Structures are given as structure tokens and as C-alpha cells.
């Protein structure tokens, strides 16, 4: 008899194991399911899977309110329920009673016909059962009578700060999407998406399906709207102005000519240099046939500022406004131009938002995203079949730079380069030095202490090449300390060097005119004025200036233009030169 009982117990155990049910155990005097956390698990999902109130799960597992870790064991208190069981082949009354932890008498009480033996596909009603949870796939033989899961009490919410993810959706990656843009769209951090989808990098491809956890409190019913057919028309990558005999041009500069209390000689000097360069451009344009009345507005004067200048009635009749050089003042003039449908040019970089809603607005300096695209393309061309290591930053701006670079890097077609990239951290990047004799690091960080350590470590190593940021050149430790002979490559919106042939030619002309040495601001004033005002004459062939390159791209129909061209420069021997 004992042997027969042992045999039945063994058969029951094998049967339960074969069905891949969640294991059971006793903990603190309560019967519990044993759950091993896997990628993508969260508290809300466990509550739904085991039909157990979150409050009981949290009380049984102190600490999990801070999050779940893959491989962690979680004990889920059993909630006895009434289930409906469909008898499978070879199942006996004994096996079913053990499966649900109820007595055989209890089963026969509610199912009298079971006394005569069970039949395949027979339906059994089993009250007070321990519902077995299949962890491999949903059960087809067990129907749990639905019971509403109690919501966490206010005390539990206060104690555990409960926040559920309602569901995990599947998203198909669209063309031009990156993990960074997807994370912003669904408000889920990139590391969480990487963890949930077992991604070792942030690279995703169009058509790839990824899982995204959606917060319950953010789920809304979104009405489905008809998608209009895609317009195939191309937006023109050039400015256009109506033909006129003469043009009105406004130039906003912080000259501060009447020396107010807020006078800054560096700002004033730079503005004067800019004007001197712009004046040379206007002289050249005049010889080409441009007839223009140029109005110069000193918005740092004691008697006026940007707002009082914009009250002048002639401003609304301008053909083109050259915006102030400072962000705050430029935004004021930009809003004025948008309201009055005026063309406006930004000589230095301004936020993308300033180009929206004004089809005749143009930013003449490439954006950070444009510079990251140039850098990524340069890396691909220099290291066609190699592996590059990206040392990822830790602050918000550094992470944004990394995301922009990675997005651009992954969009370079394989026909150009089959280079691969590894994402490393400041703690582990050196372990990749053994991959090849020559190695290339990309570091887009503004953390001066860490960057200087990196530059110092490899300054005399010919087998290591560094790609970084243009901001590094401005650090005195890099450009002003003779002992620091650092070498690195970076993307820049302009290239100014007295050794450049174009600069040397312009320098001679500048000295003849003003008897003064050329500055970068003078070159910028010349390039910006010449580039934009040539459009008034409908002469758009020239796409390069003294220190600038120009390739305009419209930001979309009805919006302005962004210059996407720049330079890839190598800083070496305390001087930057084109690669």
C-alpha cells in the first residue's frame, strides 16, 4: 500500500512538472508561488499573472517596491479560488486533487459523477483550489472563475509608492526612428528599453519589433484618424525673394556705441569686427548689381533696445533682417519676423524652434545634430571595416550628444562602410584596447576632468585615435598649455586659420581696407552677409565662404532653412586643420 501511495505521489509530481506550473512552497505559514523574475517583469504584471493583490506581494517581499531584478526570487501568496478543470487523458481523481491541493471528497461533493471515475474532457468544478499557474503558455484545461483583484489600499500606496506598468506593447521601428526618439515618444528611458528587449546597444533597424512598457496612468483611448497620402513634393533648399529694383536690409548688432553702463568691450569689439566684414560683403554685392539700403541698429545703445527698435515703422518693410548675435534678443526679433512674415537670417546658431513657421528664415550655423552627422560619416569613412568604441557620457547633454551620434552612425548605409560600434562607459572602455592594434575612441563628453585624463593617457600613443567635441579646443588646458600636445578630431561649424589660403587672400583685402588684422568675427560677418544677400540677386552657386560652408536644408514645408554643412578638423600641435 505504501509503495502504491509513493507511486501515485511520484506520478503526480511528474505530471505537475511536465505542465511547467509555477512551483509552490510554504513561507511564513502561507502557501506561496515561487516566481523567478525575468526581463520585462514588473509588479503590475505579477499581480495580473497570479491574481494576487499587490499589497500582499509587497508585504511578502520587502524591498521589491524599488524594482525587480532579473533572476530574483519573488514569493506570491496563493489566492484560493474556484476553478473549472477539463479532464485530460490519464488524469485521475487523485492527481486532480493533488494538483489543486484539495481533497478527493471535496471534488466528488461538487461533482458527484466523479465518484465513478473521470472521463477525458469531463468538466469539474473545484472550489477553494490552489490555481496552478502555467509559466510557459496559457492553460487550455483550467478556467479560473474571474475575481476582481483588490486595488492597493491608500496605506499601501503611501508605504510602497506603487506605480504599475499597465501593459507591454509591441512597436515596429519606423524609418528614421532611433531608440532615443522612441524613448522620448513613449516616455521610457533608453536603458529600460535595452533591458526589456535584450539589446546590447542602442541600435535598432526599420521593421524591427521592440517591446515597450506603457504606464497605466498614461493609457488613453486615442481616436484613429485617417492618414493623408504622403506628399512626394520636394521642398526647395534655397531662399527665394521677390524681384525688386532695390532692397531694404536690417542689421542688428550690439555695438554699444554710446558706452552705456552695461558696456562690454569684448562684445562691442566683436560686433564692430562683424560689421566691418559685412560691409566688405555689401561692397562686393554692390559691384554685382545689388542696390540696397542697409539699416544698422545698435540694440545695446543707451537710448534704445531691441523692443524699441522693433516699434520703428520701417522695420515692417524690410526685405531681410539679420538677427542679433545673442539668443534672447534674436528670439525677440524672430517672433517679430514671424508675425510680420519677414525674412530673417541668424548668423550664429539658434534653436530649431526659431525656424518654424517662417519659410524665409535661415540659420547659417549647423546644429549639434548636423555636426554629429558629419562626425559619424567621417568615422565611417576613416574606419570602413573596423570597430569603434563610443565612451558614453553621464550628464544630460553628453547623453544627448551620444544619442545623436549613434542615430547618425547607424543611418550610414553599409555601401559606404561596414564599421561597427561598441558602447562603453568610463569604467570599462579600456578593456577594448585588445581588439585591434589600432583603436578609435569617440568621446562626446564635456566633463573636463575625465576628458583631460583621456587625452593625457593617449597623447603619445600612435595606435589610438580620438574623436571629440569642438568645445575641447576652447579649454586652456588643451590650447594654452605647452606641455599638453593633444591630438583629436572634431566637427566644427567653421574653419578659421591664418594659414588657410582663402583666409590669407581675404586678410590682404581686409588690411588694405581697414589697416587692421582680420578676426573670425569679421569673416563671419562677410560670409553670412554675402551668402544671404546673393539670394536677393538670385545667385546661389557659391556654397562656401572664407570660413564657412553652406548647404541649406528646409525644415519642412512652411518652415525655414538650416545650414547642414561644416568641417571635420584635426587638432594637432595646438592648431586645427581640415582632415
pLDDT digits (tens, 9 = 90+) for 153-162: 555 555 444 4
Is the pLDDT at 216 greater than 50, yes or no?
A: no
Q: Which residue has the higher pLDDT, 354 or 251?
A: 251
pLDDT score recorded for residue 152: 53
Secondary structure of 390-429 as H, E, C letters = EECCCCHHHHHHHHHHHHHHHCCCCCCCCCEEEEECCCCH
pLDDT score recorded for residue 528: 92
Spatial CB neighbours of 476, under 8 Å, sequence gap ≥ 6: none
Is the pLDDT at 55 greater than 90, yes or no?
A: no
Helix axis angle, 368-382 to 396-410, nearest 10°: 50
d(CA 30, CA 28): 6
Residues in the chain: 579
Grid cell digits, residue 450: 575625465
pLDDT score recorded for residue 163: 47
**67: which strand partners?**
none
Most confident stretch, 29-38, 179-188, 254-263: 29-38
Phi-psi region of 246 (alpha: psi -120 to 50; beta: other; left: phi over 0): beta
Grid cell digits, residue 135: 509559466
Mean pLDDT check: name the lowest of 93-102, 258-267, 341-350.
Answer: 258-267
Q: CA 249 → CA 175, 319, 323, 334, 559, distances in Å? A: 41, 6, 11, 15, 21
Q: Which residue has the higher pLDDT, 157 or 481?
A: 481
Q: Which residue has the cell 509513493?
A: 6
Q: Which residue has the higher pLDDT, 66 or 405?
A: 405
pLDDT score recorded for residue 495: 93
- Domains of the chain, first to last: 2-158 (no CATH), 175-216 (3.10.350), 247-366+500-571 (3.40.50.2300), 368-492 (3.40.50.2300)
d(CA 369, CA 355): 15
Nearest to 406 by CA among 198, 181, 176, 178: 178
Classify 575 as helix, strand or coil.
Answer: strand
Is the pLDDT at 39 greater than 60, yes or no?
A: yes
Confidence of residue 355 (pLDDT cuts 50, 70, 90): confident
Give the ranges where 358-516 is alpha helix by DSSP (H): 368-382, 396-410, 448-458, 476-479, 501-514
Cα-based torsion angle of the residue sequence 380, 381, 382, 388 in order, rounded to the nearest 10 degrees: 10
d(CA 366, CA 488): 21
Classify 5 as helix, strand or coil.
Answer: helix
Helix axis angle, 520-536 to 501-514, nearest 10°: 90
Mean pLDDT of the chain: 80
> Is the distance from CB of 25 to CB of 74 less than 8 angstroms?
no
Is the pLDDT at 237 greater than 50, yes or no?
A: yes
Q: Which residue has the cell 520636394?
A: 234
d(CA 535, CA 549): 16
pLDDT score recorded for residue 42: 72
Q: Which residue has the higher pLDDT, 400 or 211?
A: 400
Q: List the Cα angle 77/83/87 in 5-degree steps.
A: 125
pLDDT score recorded for residue 459: 87
Amino acid at each position: 500500500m505504501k509503495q502504491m501511495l509513493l507511486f501515485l505521489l511520484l506520478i503526480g509530481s511528474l505530471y505537475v512538472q511536465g505542465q511547467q506550473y509555477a512551483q509552490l512552497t510554504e513561507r511564513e505559514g502561507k502557501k506561496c508561488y515561487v516566481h523567478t523574475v525575468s526581463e520585462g517583469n514588473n509588479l503590475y504584471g505579477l499581480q495580473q499573472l497570479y491574481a494576487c493583490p499587490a499589497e500582499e506581494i509587497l508585504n511578502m517581499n520587502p524591498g521589491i517596491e524599488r524594482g525587480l531584478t532579473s533572476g530574483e526570487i519573488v514569493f506570491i501568496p496563493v489566492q484560493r479560488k474556484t476553478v473549472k478543470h477539463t479532464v485530460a487523458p490519464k488524469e485521475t481523481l487523485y492527481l486532480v486533487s493533488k494538483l489543486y491541493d484539495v481533497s478527493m471528497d471535496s471534488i466528488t461533493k461538487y461533482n458527484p459523477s466523479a465518484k465513478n471515475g473521470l472521463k477525458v474532457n469531463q468538466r469539474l468544478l473545484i472550489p477553494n483550489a490552489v490555481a496552478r499557474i502555467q509559466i510557459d503558455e496559457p492553460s487550455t484545461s483550467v478556467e479560473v472563475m474571474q475575481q476582481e483583484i483588490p486595488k492597493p489600499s491608500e496605506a499601501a500606496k503611501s508605504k510602497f509608492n506603487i506605480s504599475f506598468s499597465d501593459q507591454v506593447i509591441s512597436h515596429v521601428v519606423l524609418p528614421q526612428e532611433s531608440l532615443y526618439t522612441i524613448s522620448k515618444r513613449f516616455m521610457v528611458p533608453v536603458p529600460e528599453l535595452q533591458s526589456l528587449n535584450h539589446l546590447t546597444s542602442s541600435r535598432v533597424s526599420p521593421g524591427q519589433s521592440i517591446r515597450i512598457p506603457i504606464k497605466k496612468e498614461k493609457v488613453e483611448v486615442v481616436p484613429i484618424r485617417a492618414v493623408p497620402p504622403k506628399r512626394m513634393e520636394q521642398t526647395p533648399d534655397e531662399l527665394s525673394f521677390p524681384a525688386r529694383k532695390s532692397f531694404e536690409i536690417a542689421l542688428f548688432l550690439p555695438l554699444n556705441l554710446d558706452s552705456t553702463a552695461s558696456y562690454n568691450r569684448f562684445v562691442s569689439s566683436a560686433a564692430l569686427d562683424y560689421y566691418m566684414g559685412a560691409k566688405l560683403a555689401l561692397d562686393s554685392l554692390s559691384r554685382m548689381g545689388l542696390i540696397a539700403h542697409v539699416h544698422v541698429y545698435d540694440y545695446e545703445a543707451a537710448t534704445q533696445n531691441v523692443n524699441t527698435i522693433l516699434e520703428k515703422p520701417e522695420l515692417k518693410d524690410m526685405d531681410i533682417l539679420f538677427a542679433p548675435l545673442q539668443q534672447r534678443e534674436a528670439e525677440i526679433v524672430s517672433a517679430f519676423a514671424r508675425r510680420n512674415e519677414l525674412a530673417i537670417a541668424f548668423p550664429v546658431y539658434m534653436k530649431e524652434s526659431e525656424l518654424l513657421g517662417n519659410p524665409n528664415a535661415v540659420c547659417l550655423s549647423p546644429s549639434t545634430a548636423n555636426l554629429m552627422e558629419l562626425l559619424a560619416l567621417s568615422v565611417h569613412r576613416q574606419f570602413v571595416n573596423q570597430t569603434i568604441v563610443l565612451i558614453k557620457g553621464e550628464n544630460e547633454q553628453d547623453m544627448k550628444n551620444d544619442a545623436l551620434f549613434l542615430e547618425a552612425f547607424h543611418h550610414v548605409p553599409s555601401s559606404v562602410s561596414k564599421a561597427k560600434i561598441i558602447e562603453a562607459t568610463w569604467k570599462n572602455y579600456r578593456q577594448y584596447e585588445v581588439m585591434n592594434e589600432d583603436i578609435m575612441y569617440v568621446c562626446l563628453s564635456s566633463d573636463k576632468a575625465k576628458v583631460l585624463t583621456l587625452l593625457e593617457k593617449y597623447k603619445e600613443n600612435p595606435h589610438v585615435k580620438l574623436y571629440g567635441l569642438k568645445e575641447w579646443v576652447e579649454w586652456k588646458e588643451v590650447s594654452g598649455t605647452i606641455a599638453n600636445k593633444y591630438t583629436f578630431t572634431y566637427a566644427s561649424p567653421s574653419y578659421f586659420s591664418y594659414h588657410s589660403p582663402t583666409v590669407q587672400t581675404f586678410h590682404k583685402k581686409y588690411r588694405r581696407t581697414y589697416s587692421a588684422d582680420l578676426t573670425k568675427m569679421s569673416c563671419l560677418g562677410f560670409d553670412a552677409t554675402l551668402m544671404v544677400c546673393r539670394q536677393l540677386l538670385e545667385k546661389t552657386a557659391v556654397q562656401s565662404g572664407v570660413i564657412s560652408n553652406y548647404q541649406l536644408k528646409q525644415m519642412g514645408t512652411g518652415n525655414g532653412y538650416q545650414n547642414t554643412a561644416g568641417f571635420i578638423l584635426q587638432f594637432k600641435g595646438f592648431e586645427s586643420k581640415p582632415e
